[in-house]
Chain A
């Protein structure tokens, strides 16, 4: 099938088997290799990207379903020379060890902070109607779809908290 995907603000024309996942389209057809394949089953979170600002597992969604959507990958968030605030915070807090889950963690955190800002409750929210607080418990729960086998979780949560607090102050 011939489709056009908008990725990181740029349109890409592609001829794809309709069964191709967004993940395989990115990695195998567009050389956007920052998005990682961990389990290919939607269970590890390494392939997380943003679709219209919402985080999804790119291995569990077909590319043909996303014509007209705005897809953002780790490459679209920043570059080594110009890191996004979350990317910089992950470096500053050592929010990784082997680094394989890191692009997914950062895409997920980017989407997650927007969810918190929009007031979405989580499994650990005491009050479903109140604005969620920036506790470790809230952030950890909301990031629990992204596995890190090196278990750099403490530093991941610290990095996210730093950015979330800076944003809150800026508001």
Chain B
């Protein structure tokens, strides 16, 4: 009996640690910058523009060429294929600017040096003659400059909005500005290209989307995709920031590697990374909402303008997703929402955990809050009055019927477990004492649509080999960035074969094993890749079962899979024994699995369809204390109840929920992006851009899974996606801060705080309360 033939316990739905844990804690987990560099490795560094919008009249490279350690220079003229890495294929995102720059930090050329230091120093030495052009840096300026769009806007419409607004007993109009966010992945962008024979090139890229890096590099080099292999073992964080933003770095490394036939690595400095790569879109939402005396919404009319930056990148699907979440968990009898993806002279904004959804939901929570303060009610009552129904009041603005609604139960349970009502009374009582410190408490819901809205992205592949000794090799198209995808898919495969996890070797993701994969994004990683691996196992198991029926002379129906092997009639056969005999009988022990999400469709032109396979739900309660003299605040307690269906790995999922909440809290509170009047991002390092610290975690932080939930759709193990939805749980922090601010005017004036709610914004809010407070 070998080590694989003991009876293993099932591992799906169990608390299992991250597969690389022992390597992470001992510094042995290899990231791209840790790889051994072959002799002759060169280093590339980007030269970035220091103008927001300008014509390049002339470039003098003399000082660059003659700088010590410089091996060569790459410009647009050196690109054999296309000078473009636009993921939307709109040809609007050059690798190197030609004739004109559109934002401060845009790459103009690259220096290839013997060392990174030499390349970096030389990249600053070009003498560029500029002719400045007027720059539109934000939404207002972009509109004033004519409102150029980077991609086609979307309108969602259901019911008669104009009539609904006219007939509504009450009406509010307002505007909310919602800030952006830098990803601040601890491992910055990096690519390492190794040239091969003929047109071949291998690229180690820190990317969530190896297949797209492969496609982009092929376009840039003017070669076929089959010559390009992209490998990703792991990323030091992604959060959406490596869905498309790795393309340019991979392309530059590949260009240099092929041109000089040397390995080439590129890794920008943190400040350059923050200036040259895209972020979460900031939005300005103008709204007009009609409601009745009970706070029930009658009609919503809103426009979602986004600062998209200079190119389309993913701004189309991001602004679409903002509209898809304009409802959060609320039913609107009549609704019209429209996106405005604006061209601005800033870095092109991109994917970030939630992908526009958080901004759409933040706006919804704003008008809920406005209604509550307009009526003098607890915002939670308004939320409940507007929740989607289960049998009626259940059609979204995009005409998808919500069939899996559990928000009512989730919120009721959290309201009880967090002791919300008693704590709200205590907060109100505390504030009536009128001291310098004020408290706020809020409960907000989350409903998040799961699936890529680009329907063709909802496919995945896996490659599974079973070797003669019963050990198993697992490859799939998903990438690991800390979210635990690798361990989850391995759990699926282990249970499918009835073997222990130690039998499975999780391989680095590579385009050579599984082709045409989708980005590991939209929270879809385990849904898609888990199913693809399961499908591969199913094929191999069918062949093994047929083989067992033959050699043990039983009907195929009498072969049953059990932990550790099969029962052939009454005889137990260990997995490794079965595999060994199958090999000798020439049974194929390898399979390519495939999965595509069923039943989804989307007609963008008409704004109708079922873009989402299902919804993930959650709710949170936050309690805060503000200092009305300084605007400083603390988040004192947070309670979360979140739905991940039947969890594939509860400990990993809890980590995603806690981490997502804290990252969302950073987005909505301390993380402020500041561009100066000339268009330079001034918050381009952690000295000025403040992400949450250990000491920012609320001292009381109760996080639970809704253990009774299971996905109504046939997802892997009836689980639900977990990557993005928890980020939006942080909206309750904003709403709690709003309540604390509103106490300054006896809750009679809607606080209307824009995000991020920095201490400065709290202070400005308090000042406004004092000015507008009714006599």
Q: Which residues of A contact B (CB under 8 A)?
A: 27, 31, 33-41, 43-44, 46, 73-75, 77-80, 83, 87-88, 90-92, 94-103, 106, 124, 136-137, 139-141, 143-144, 146-157
| Choice from A34, A41, A98, A153 contacting B236 with Cβ under 8 Å | A98
Verify A78–B26 contact, CB threshold 8 A: yes
Q: How far is the CB of A153 from chain B (nearest CB, A)?
A: 4
- A150–B328 Cα gap in the complex (Å)? 25
Verify A96–B694 contact, CB threshold 8 A: no
Verify A154–B658 contact, CB threshold 8 A: yes
A156's closest neighbor in chain B, by CB? Answer: B694
Bitwise interface map of B from 159 to 189 toward A, beta carbon under 8 Å scored 1, else 0: 0000000000000000000000001111110
Verify A98–B21 contact, CB threshold 8 A: no
User: Interface extent on B, as a size class?
Assistant: 35 or more
Q: How far is the CB of B728 from chain A (nearest CB, A)?
A: 15
A35's closest neighbor in chain B, by CB? Answer: B27
Q: How far is the CB of A79 from chain B (nearest CB, A)?
A: 6
Known contacts A27-B33, A94-B652; 20 further A-B pairs (Cβ under 8 A): A27-B34, A31-B36, A36-B187, A37-B33, A38-B187, A39-B686, A41-B686, A46-B186, A73-B27, A94-B18, A99-B18, A99-B482, A102-B25, A144-B695, A150-B482, A150-B655, A151-B692, A153-B658, A153-B692, A153-B696
Q: Is the interface of A mostly helix, strand, loop or mixed?
A: loop
8 residue pairs, one from A and one from B, having the closest CB atoms: A34-B27, A98-B482, A100-B236, A97-B482, A99-B24, A74-B27, A151-B662, A33-B34
For residue B770, CB closer than 8 A to chain A, the reply is no
Verify A41–B687 contact, CB threshold 8 A: yes
Verify B33–A75 contact, CB threshold 8 A: no
Verify A74–B482 contact, CB threshold 8 A: no
- A10–B228 Cα gap in the complex (Å)? 42
For residue B490, CB closer than 8 A to chain A, the reply is no
Verify B186–A151 contact, CB threshold 8 A: no
Q: Is the interface of B mostly helix, strand, loop or mixed?
A: loop
Verify B237–A96 contact, CB threshold 8 A: no
Q: Given A41-B685, A103-B27, does the pair A157, B270 have CB atoms closer than 8 Å? A: no
Chain B residues with CB under 8 Å of A97's CB are 18, 237, 482-484, 655-656, 659
Q: Given A99-B234, A150-B659, A151-B662, does the pair A83, B33 have CB atoms closer than 8 Å? A: no
Verify B186–A96 contact, CB threshold 8 A: no
- A146–B186 Cα gap in the complex (Å)? 11
Q: Given A33-B34, A149-B691, A154-B658, does the pair A137, B26 have CB atoms closer than 8 Å? A: no
Verify B21–A153 contact, CB threshold 8 A: no
Verify B687–A151 contact, CB threshold 8 A: no
For residue B235, CB closer than 8 A to chain A, the reply is yes
Verify A150–B237 contact, CB threshold 8 A: yes
Verify B695–A96 contact, CB threshold 8 A: no
- Most chain-B Cβ atoms within 10 A of its Cβ — which of A83, A99, A124? A99
A159's closest neighbor in chain B, by CB? Answer: B25
Chain B residues with CB under 8 Å of A90's CB are 21, 24-25
- A142–B342 Cα gap in the complex (Å)? 43
- A143–B188 Cα gap in the complex (Å)? 22
Chain B residues with CB under 8 Å of A100's CB are 31, 185-187, 236-237
- A114–B144 Cα gap in the complex (Å)? 59
- A139–B695 Cα gap in the complex (Å)? 8
Verify B685–A39 contact, CB threshold 8 A: yes
A41's closest neighbor in chain B, by CB? Answer: B685
- A31–B28 Cα gap in the complex (Å)? 11
Verify A140–B694 contact, CB threshold 8 A: yes
Chain B residues with CB under 8 Å of A34's CB are 26-28
Chain B residues with CB under 8 Å of A141's CB are 694-695
For residue B106, CB closer than 8 A to chain A, the reply is no
